[in-house]
Amino acid sequence: MKLSNEKILSMYDTMLKIRKFEEKAMGLFAEGEIPGFVHLYLGEEAVATGACATLEADDFITSTHRGHGHIIAKGGDMNFMMAELYGKETGYCKGKGGSMHIADRSKGILGANGIVGAGHNIAAGAGLSVKHRGTDQVVLCFFGDGSTNQSTFHEALNLSSIWKLPVVFICENNGYGISMSQERHQAIKDIADRAVAYNIPGVTVDGNDVFAVYEAVNEATKRARKNQGPTLVECKTYRHRGHFEGDPTMYRTDEELQEWLEKDPVKRMEKFMLENGILGQEDLDSKTAAIDEVIATAVKFAQDSPKPSLESAVENVYSDIVEEVKVR
Amino acid sequence: MTTIGIIANPASGKDIRRLVSHATVIDNNEKVNIIERVILGAQTFGVKKIYVMPDSFMMGFKVMEKLELSGELNVEIEILDMKIKASPKDTQVAATMLEEMQVGCIVVLGGDGTHRLVAKAINKVPLIGISTGTNNAYPKMLEGTVAGMAAAAAATNAIDYETFCERDKIIEVSKNGELVDIALMDVVISDEIYIGAKAIWNLETIKHVIVSNCHPASIGFSAILGANIKIEETDDFGAALKINSGTNHFLAPIAAGSIVRVTSEEVQRINLGESFTLEPDYKGMIALDGEREVSFVKGDLLSFKILRNGPRHVVVNRILESALENGFFQR
């Protein structure tokens, strides 16, 4: 498959935005600027980027607790994202959701989700909606290896297969469910093997190679748009940081981390572009500086934004909130 | 002691061709089952020790556990002492170890790509290939039990296996005069510029196909030549074909369930020891046995030489026919 230089550059932009956003979030969390938890996507940038690069604006994604990368790749606004991380009123969830609940219906982002495995059936539901409405939209469902032991994974694959729903299930297999290595939580190594049980195609690709992800997901979305049903795409990848910021990662070795750092998807992309004359080092440097500025703007936007009022604590929580709770 | 080795690629049979063609998925549990049958076939016919490549799915351990529990394990199984990288390097490392140990035979489970990696590492030890890949021209669809029996016949020296092995041809790939890699069956030159999902399938991007063997019953890119010419394993030549150019029109099965119309120029024969050269005016990738592996840029001098210095593979039917004549089954 051939990709234009414009497309390649656009994918690189997305990867770099994710990388820079996450690095900034890491620093801000360490400084105590960001409350709650953050689960960083550092090291997995190629998956969200390659997958979302196959989508149209009106397609959907569902995300996970490690969702910043998916949201940026689907066009989420980094100002609103950063404000949400800061817990500010201008954030995507008015500062009440935090890192793990960012959603933007206007962009087809059906939500990050703090519950492991909760996205599978939301994706299947969105797929059912597409089917009923008769459009050619697709739904990308991102999830980790750990969630494939949840019943929701199996329910969603089963129904999506039976009803031939336009859903692409994208497993970001980073080898660990929190601190539990994959070999300790399941008796298979390739999660794509599970597709066979639901009579759908399953493929495994190098999740640190944005082109490999793009090619596989592109073929899967083409199938979905042609009413040929769901696909399971497993992307082998690795998170550079712990499960959450503050995780001491005692369950993995420095050597293992080092091996994966050598396969860093952003560096691989940069090397590819330099070797193929798509970008020169100067262009690369100026792109990096430009994205640094975008991130700095997002941080400033978040810092300058007001905190939500105390009164708003019960607003937008329940759709039918009773009067007495409002009074309280 | 009579020994054999088993290399099973946990990654074979799962690539993107499940999406772009109608290729079968062969999951790792099925590979475990095949290994089990290879072991049962081999131990019954005199193999005393079997070395198995370790892998991330722990296929060797799973078979050992299963056969121990069922009380059917009568052979010593040793998992090779090597660090798993979960990459193609594992196959090459294991093949090198088995060649150094001079086991009697190596049984390989994988596709053309897996066998290419083994071919890079072995020379003396004979090979039996079982297809668990996608478009397999080199390994055959072979029952594991029979493969185990044939491996035993080769390894126990009950038969003069030299007579029943064929030395494979290979295609040496050089870039600007430097040997960069080999292919067993086919080389595809494409103007795609990245490795991506590795497997190659998009006919529109392909400029040339070079084969060591081809047959009308082949599948994959060698089938493009196979729709024009038959080149047997024993023939001392290969061939090249420029496609998406010329006036020769034909149909070829380039992937499982995918028969496409191809346009080409005339087939160019490449005799053993001779090279087919190209100096592309574009940048692109060279796919070896179906997988994008080597990049080149405009102006690079590419050279493809057909040689008969690949691995020796056991011709399973012939060795078992001879085994029959030599009383191999009379036990």
pLDDT at site A322? 64
B194 to chain A, any CB pair closer than 8 A? The answer is yes
d(CA A66, CA A271): 26
Q: Is A306 helix (H, G, I), strand (E, B) or coil?
A: coil
Q: Which residues pair with B179 in a beta bridge?
A: B174
Q: What is the CATH number of the domain that holds A220?
A: 3.40.50.970
pLDDT in tens, B100-147: 999 999 999 999 999 999 999 999 999 999 999 777 889 999 999 999
**Residue A102 token pair:** 């960012």
Is pLDDT of A320 > 80? Answer: no
Nearest-Cα distance to chain B for A193, in Å, is 6
Burial class (CB in 10 A: 0-12, 13-18, 19+), B232: exposed
Q: Does B83 touch chain A (CB under 8 A)?
A: no
Q: Is A237 on the interface with B (CB under 8 A)?
A: no
At residue A326, the pLDDT reads 61
Q: A303 CB near a chain B CB, below 8 Å?
A: no
Q: What is the pLDDT of residue A323?
A: 66
- What pTM was computed for the model? 0.89
According to DSSP H, which parts of A163-309 are helical?
182-185, 210-225, 254-261, 265-275, 281-304
Asked if A61 and A119 touch (Cβ cutoff 8 Å), the reply is no
Residues of the domain holding A285: 5-327
Residue B306 corresponds to which tokens in the numbers above?
Answer: 């057909």
Distance CA B136, CA B127 (A): 16
- Average of pLDDT values for A44-53? 98
| CA–CA dist B227, B223 (Å, integer) | 6
CB < 8 Å & 24+ apart, contacts of B35-38 = B35/B6, B35/B8, B35/B59, B35/B60, B35/B63, B35/B109, B35/B144, B36/B63, B36/B66, B36/B67, B36/B144, B37/B143, B37/B144, B37/B145, B37/B147, B37/B148, B38/B6, B38/B107, B38/B130, B38/B144, B38/B145, B38/B147, B38/B148, B38/B151
Q: Tell me the pLDDT of chain B averaged across its residues.
A: 94
% residues pLDDT > 90 (chain B): 83
Question: Is pLDDT above 80 for B72?
Answer: yes
What is the CA B315 to chain-centroid distance, rounded?
A: 14
Does residue B85 register a pLDDT over 70?
A: yes
Q: How many domains does chain A have?
A: 1
pLDDT of residue A191: 94
Q: Which residues contact B286 (CB under 8 A, 6 or more apart)?
A: B173, B181, B187, B188, B189, B190, B292, B293, B294, B295, B296, B302
Between the two ends of chain B, the Cα-to-Cα distance in Å is 19
Distance, in Å, from the CA atom of A29 to the CA atom of A68, rounded to the nearest integer, reads: 14
For B197, residues 6+ apart whose C-beta sits below 8 A from its C-beta are A203, A205, A206, A211, A212, A215, A216, B15, B16
Which residues make beta-bridge pairs with A109?
Answer: A61, A104
Nearest 10 degrees: Cα torsion A136, A137, A142, A143: -70
User: Which residues have C-beta within 8 Å of that of residue A289, sequence separation ≥ 6?
Assistant: none
Please answer yes or no on whether B18 and A201 come within 8 Å at the CB atom.
yes
Pairing state between β A167-173 and A139-144? parallel
Q: Are residues A272 and B198, on separate chains, in Cβ contact within 8 Å?
A: no
Task: For residues B181 and B117, give the distance between their C-alpha atoms in angstroms, rounded to a whole number.
Answer: 10
pLDDT tens figures, B44-66: 999 999 999 999 889 999 999 99
The partner residues of B3 in beta bridges, in order of sequence, read B49
* Cβ–Cβ pairs < 8 A, chains A and B: 81
DSSP-derived secondary structure for B258-297: EEEEEEE---EEEETT-EEEE--SS-EEEEETTEEEEEE-
Give the model's confidence band at A189: pLDDT under 50 very low, under 70 low, under 90 confident, else very high: confident
> Is A189 within 8 Å of B57 when comparing Cβ atoms?
yes
Q: In the numeric block, which tokens belong to residue A93? A: 């969830």
Identify residue A237 by its one-letter amino acid code.
T
Q: How confident is the model at residue B156 (pLDDT cuts 50, 70, 90)?
A: confident
Residue A324 is predicted with a pLDDT of 63
Distance from CA of B172 to the nearest CA of A (A): 25
Q: Which domains does chain B have, with CATH numbers?
A: 3-168+311-325 (3.40.1280), 170-307 (2.60.200.30)
Enumerate the H helices of B52-204 as residue ranges. 59-70, 88-101, 112-121, 144-155
Task: Classify A231 as helix, strand or coil.
Answer: strand
Residues in CB range of B191: below 8 A, 6 or more apart: A2, B205, B207, B280, B282, B283, B284
User: pLDDT tens digit string along B238-274?
Assistant: 999 999 999 999 999 999 899 999 999 999 999 999 9
- pLDDT-derived band at A327 (thresholds 50, 70, 90) equals low
Instruction: Tell me the backbone φ, ψ of residue B106, rounded to 5 degrees.
Output: -115, 130
- Binning pLDDT at 50, 70 and 90, where does residue B14 land? confident
pLDDT at A325: 62
The mean pLDDT value for A239-254 works out to 95
Q: Could you tell me which residues come within 8 angstroms of residue B287 by beta carbon, excluding any fewer than 6 positions away?
A: B187, B188, B189, B190, B200, B221, B293
Whether the predicted pLDDT of B157 surpasses 80:
no
Mean pLDDT of A15-38: 96
Q: Do B194 and A202 touch (CB under 8 A)?
A: no
Let me know how many helices (H) and strands (E) chain B has, helices first. Answer: 8, 18
Name the CA radius of gyration of chain A, rounded: 20
**Contact call for residues B155 and B3 (beta carbons, < 8 A):** yes
What is the pLDDT of chain A when averaged over all its residues? 95
Which tokens go with A36? 């709650």
* ipTM, two decimals: 0.82
pLDDT in tens, A132-148: 999 999 999 999 999 99
- CB–CB contact B25 A193 (8 Å): yes
Q: What is the pLDDT of residue B23?
A: 83
Q: What distance in Å separates the CA atoms of residue B151 and residue B328, rounded to the nearest whole number?
A: 13
Query: What is the CB neighbour count within 10 angstroms for residue A296?
Result: 12
Contact A7, A53 (CB under 8 A): yes
The predicted structure's pLDDT at residue B92: 97
- Taking residue A262's Cβ as centre, other Cβ atoms within 10 Å add up to 10
Euclidean distance between CA atoms B108 and B4, whole angstroms: 11
Determine contact: A192 vs chain B, CB below 8 A.
yes
Residues of A within 8 A of B29 (CB-CB) are 188, 193
CB contact, 8 Å: A223 with chain B?
Answer: yes
What contacts A249, CB < 8 A, 6 or more positions away?
A: A179, A241, A242, A257
